[in-house]
């Protein structure tokens, strides 16, 4: 313990002196015999669909990890189709790590992203495609980073989703919770000399509502509860909702600063949540919930639907429960998966009403993927009556994965029947997408995933002679046909390690990797 203590102290002192270079450092790729392009040309087939505009969030496609308040993971813009394709990359941190996961876009097209390292999170403002750093904003180190060093267990970081979910509001301000239990509204501005800077516009301290006995340099021997804020999101009235890993759910009145809280006893919330005009939808590791707020802004549980959480935590999910952020469809559906043994099920519920008025809320319970190899920890792509889901079974994380024959395997589209009598599997694909948050381009009709091919190394440095070549893969949303694969790079540096794909307003596709971020576009 003493050596670990001094390691953390040394790291803490080092962090204060670290800053990122303005010009991008390309992500290193290991030499291997990988094809740069696999597939055929594709003619764009637009999809006419959209989600309702949220009055307190930036437009659809630019405002959050899952594209919008519905968590549809559908972008109005297009992505690359392999026509004169260009690529750029940036290492996200001078410290170990560097993964740039959640991305949003300012109204001028700049990226506003969250990049992670062993030190924790920082917000970066990056210029589109060039990935030049314009400004950065450091956030407090999460307790899981200290725990990983003290206990020599990096799974503490890998199983911690706190702080990863943020959103961009209607005025281009980032709203998120930090490791000190403070919710920030962070704005940015350009000075007269043309330089950008971030600043805190408003903040709300939740320490009186969220237990904060966490391991940190000022508290090496915690003996109480340390809860972590998972996500924040506004409802359609502007009331700011928050949820914690320990099952706490609350609201913040952004005008008065009044804070409310309740708790789902014995339950965890490790996923983001979704909002619509009719309410707020949250999934725990035990049940799916529909909430609304009363006249005082207090959370009110309208309904609760327990699901089959299985008998254990599976490899390919973060805990023993649903791995999916609830996704809303149309005016009356919400979908998640369960964690059933054997094969997980895709669940679709009617979301309106309360438990009394809607006793039979479940529309379908559709088993997906192979028996004994079925798990997911990523939100679905969903629009209209159609849902696309990937299989994450067998994938742990980029650093610990050794069995690549067992990582991922299977993509599926499921449609809700018009008469609401159930759901049907429309297509299945054997392609592997072990951990990415997939995205649909409504402009070209392609659903994008991230996959790998095992290829020979050109200059083996060990007994291992094969390595992963990583690809952005495009499937036809209507048929499930594999259209193309675009090579990004080789080796662990290009593993996306649970990061999402994000499609920018200028049709550039971005994907976070363990070392940073990759930009891909057609000219």
For 195-249, how does the pLDDT look when each residue is reduced to its tens digit (9 = 90+)? 999 999 999 999 999 999 999 999 999 999 999 999 999 999 999 999 999 999 9
Closest by CA to 97, choosing from 499, 490, 462, 466, is 499
Q: How does residue 18 score in pLDDT terms, banded at 50, 70 and 90?
A: low
The sheet carrying 259-263 orders its strands as 229-234, 240-244, 248-252, 259-263
Quick one: DSSP state of residue 373? Answer: B
| 365 or 20, greater pLDDT | 365
193's CB contacts (< 8 A; 6+ apart) are: none
Are 438 and 451 contacting, i.e. CB atoms less than 8 angstroms apart? Answer: no
Residue-level pLDDT at 30: 95
Pair type for strands 240-244 and 196-205: unpaired
Residue-level pLDDT at 302: 97
- pLDDT, one tens digit per residue, over 256-285 is 999 999 999 999 999 999 999 999 999 999
443's CB contacts (< 8 A; 6+ apart) are: 44, 46, 75, 76, 77, 78, 507
E-state strands within 159-223: 167-168, 174-177, 182-190, 196-205
CA gap 142, 124 in Å, rounded = 18
CB atoms within 10 A of CB 256: 8
Are 213 and 224 contacting, i.e. CB atoms less than 8 angstroms apart? Answer: yes
Element housing 5 (H / E): helix 2-15
Closest by CA to 72, choosing from 438, 418, 412, is 438
In the block, residue with structure tokens 């193309």: 484
| 329 or 94, greater pLDDT | 329
Q: Is the dihedral of CA 245, 251, 256, 258 positive or negative?
A: negative
194's CB contacts (< 8 A; 6+ apart) are: none
- pLDDT, one tens digit per residue, over 449-480 is 999 999 999 988 777 789 999 999 999 999 99
CA gap 158, 206 in Å, rounded = 24
pLDDT at 343 over 90: yes
Quick one: DSSP state of residue 226? Answer: B
429's CB contacts (< 8 A; 6+ apart) are: 410, 411, 412, 475, 480, 482
CB atoms within 10 A of CB 182: 17
CA gap 446, 482 in Å, rounded = 10
Are 20 and 132 contacting, i.e. CB atoms less than 8 angstroms apart? Answer: no
Residue 236 sits at the vertex; the CA angle it makes with 442 and 477, to the nearest 5 degrees, is: 15
Containing domain of residue 100, as a range? Answer: 2-522
| CATH value at residue 272 | 2.130.10.10
**Number of structural domains the chain divides into:** 1
Are 114 and 100 contacting, i.e. CB atoms less than 8 angstroms apart? Answer: yes
pLDDT at 126 over 50: yes
* Confidence (pTM): 0.94
């Amino acid at each position: 313990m003493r050596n670990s203590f001094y390691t953390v102290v040394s790291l803490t002192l080092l962090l204060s002196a670290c800053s990122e270079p303005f010009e991008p450092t390309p992500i290193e790729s290991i030499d291997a015999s990988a094809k740069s392009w696999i597939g055929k040309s594709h003619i764009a087939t637009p999809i006419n669909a959209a989600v309702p505009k949220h009055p307190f969030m930036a437009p659809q496609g630019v405002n959050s990890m899952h594209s919008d308040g519905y968590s549809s993971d559908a972008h109005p813009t297009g992505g690359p189709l392999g026509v004169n394709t260009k690529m750029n990359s940036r290492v996200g941190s001078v410290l170990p790590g560097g993964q740039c996961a959640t991305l949003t876009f300012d109204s001028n097209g700049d990226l506003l992203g969250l990049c992670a390292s062993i030190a924790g999170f920082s917000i970066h403002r990056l210029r589109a495609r060039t990935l030049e750093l314009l400004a950065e904003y450091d956030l407090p180190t999460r307790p899981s980073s200290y725990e990983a060093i003290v206990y020599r267990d990096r799974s503490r970081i890998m199983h911690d989703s706190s702080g990863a979910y943020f959103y961009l509001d209607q005025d281009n301000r980032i709203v998120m919770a930090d490791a000190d239990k403070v919710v920030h509204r962070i704005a940015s501005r350009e000075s007269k000399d043309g330089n950008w800077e971030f600043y805190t516009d408003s903040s709300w301290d939740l320490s009186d509502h969220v237990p904060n006995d966490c391991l940190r340099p000022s508290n090496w021997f915690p003996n109480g509860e340390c809860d972590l804020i998972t996500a924040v999101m506004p409802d359609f009235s502007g009331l700011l909702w928050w949820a914690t890993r320990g099952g706490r759910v609350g609201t913040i009145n952004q005008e008065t600063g009044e804070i409310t809280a309740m708790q789902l006893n014995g339950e965890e919330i490790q996923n983001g949540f979704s909002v619509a005009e009719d309410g707020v939808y949250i999934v725990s590791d035990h049940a799916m919930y529909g909430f609304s707020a009363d006249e005082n802004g207090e959370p009110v549980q309208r309904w609760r639907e327990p699901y089959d959480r299985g008998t254990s935590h599976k490899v390919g999910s973060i805990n023993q429960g649903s791995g999916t952020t609830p996704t809303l469809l149309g005016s009356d559906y919400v979908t998640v998966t369960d964690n059933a043994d054997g094969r997980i099920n895709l669940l679709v519920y009617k979301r309106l009403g309360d438990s009394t008025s809607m006793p039979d809320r479940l529309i379908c319970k559709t088993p997906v993927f192979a028996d004994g190899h079925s798990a997911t920890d990523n939100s679905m792509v969903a629009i209209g009556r159609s849902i696309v889901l990937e299989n994450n079974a067998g994938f742990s994380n980029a650093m610990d994965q050794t069995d690549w024959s067992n990582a991922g395997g299977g993509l599926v589209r499921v449609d809700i029947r018009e008469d609401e009598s159930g759901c049907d599997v429309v297509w299945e694909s054997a392609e592997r997408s072990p951990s990415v948050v997939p995205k649909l381009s409504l402009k070209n009709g392609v659903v994008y995933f991230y996959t790998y091919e095992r290829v020979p190394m050109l200059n083996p440095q060990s007994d291992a002679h094969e390595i992963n070549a990583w690809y952005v893969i495009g499937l036809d949303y209507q048929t499930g046909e594999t259209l193309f694969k675009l090579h990004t790079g080789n080796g662990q540096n290009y593993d996306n390690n649970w990061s999402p794909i994000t499609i920018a307003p200028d049709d550039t596709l971005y994907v976070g990797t363990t070392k940073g971020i990759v930009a891909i576009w057609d000219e």
